[in-house]
Structure 1
Amino acid sequence: MEERITREELLERLFHDDYENLKGRKLRLTRVRVPGRSIDFAHVISPSDAVVYQNLALNIGVHEGEDHTGQSIGIVRVTPWEAVVVATDVAVKAADVEVGFMDRFSGALIILGGLSQVMTAIEEVVKYFRDELHFDVCKIHKS
């Protein structure tokens, strides 16, 4: 169960000893996300139902009219987000896969293809980021 705390309790926890001096003053908190150098998620799935591809919007845009049913899907999330461009380059050079989606603003990459091709591409991305770029990487999961 998630613990709920008040704003004052949060400030007291954040500023500890300085909290008494800060009481009554106007404070502005800024949340900043500092991305690490990591592959946080690497997963390969082999769905058999077209609805999976439709829900991922893999049947629109440049893929409109294509039927990806039976193809495997590889999903990777990279930080910093711009590194997804490198991940995409490594994936398409490593295996006969198609880019389903790539977003340099979130670090998300979805690739499509046969199971062995998608698995090879994801393995090569993780290996390259670990060995060449010295990123922290996660295990590759498959379902």
Structure 2
Amino acid sequence: MEKERIIQEFVPGKQVTLAHVIAHPGDELAKKIGVPGAEAIGIMTLTPGETSMIAGDLATKAANVNIGFLDRFTGALVIYGSVGAVEEALQHTVDGLCQRLNYSVCSITQS
């Protein structure tokens, strides 16, 4: 039996590739993400992956949000809190990474 080999590559550069707010997620989705009962969930993907630590720091200092998941290897960050707090935290984080650290950033989206 031949093993499948997967190679994961990262492009050089500093980017926020996703910044999304899920307002009022369904119970099943919130539970699957690992934040049951959350009023809103913020999702970010960042390159390089270590940026997730900086983003988590910026987000939690900007608004009353909690970290649901942070992975410094893949650059994933999940925050949760009230809709307004998650929106504020994501905006502050995207702005901070862009203005202070010269990251290329995407627009914040919402569903």
TM-score by length of 1: 0.68
* Overall identity of the aligned pairs, in %: 36
Question: Which residue does the alignment assign to 1:17?
Answer: none
Q: Which segments of 5 or more consecutive residues in structure 2 lack a partner in the other structure?
A: 1-6
Structure whose alpha-carbon radius of gyration is higher: 1
- Measure how far apart 1:32 and its partner are: 4.8
Q: Structure 1 residue 51 and structure 2 residue 28: aligned?
A: yes
- Distance in 2 (alpha carbons) for counterparts of 1:139 and 1:31: 25
5+ residue gaps, structure 1:
1-29, 59-66
Q: Does residue 53 of structure 2 align to residue 85 of structure 1? A: yes
Q: Distance in 1 between matches of 2:25 and 2:105?
A: 28
Summarize the alignment of residues 85-124 of structure 1 with structure 2, pairs less than 5 Å apart.
85-124=53-92
Larger RCO, structures 1/2 (Cα 8 Å, 6+ apart): 2
CA deviation string 1:59-97 (max 9, x = no partner): xxxxxxxx424x100001110000110000000000000
What TM-score do you get using the length of structure 2 for normalisation?
0.87
- Greater shift in the superposed pair: 30-39 or 73-82: 30-39
TM-superposed deviation, 1:42: 0.3
Structure 2 Cα separation of the partners of residues 51 and 31 of structure 1 = 30
Instruction: Give the distance between the partners of 2:65 and 2:8, measured in 1 at CA.
Output: 38
Q: How many residues align?
A: 105
The answer on whether the counterparts of 2:25 and 2:41 sit within 8 Å (CA) in structure 1 is no
Give RMSD over aligned pairs.
1.7
2:37 aligned partner, one-letter code: H
Question: Structure 1 55/37 Cα, relative in aligned 2: closer, same or farther at 3 Å?
Answer: same
Higher helix share: 1
Superposition deviation, residue 33 in structure 1: 3.2
Q: Which has the higher strand share?
A: 2
Matches within 5 A, 1:125-136: 125-136=93-104
Hey, what does 1:68 align to over in structure 2?
37
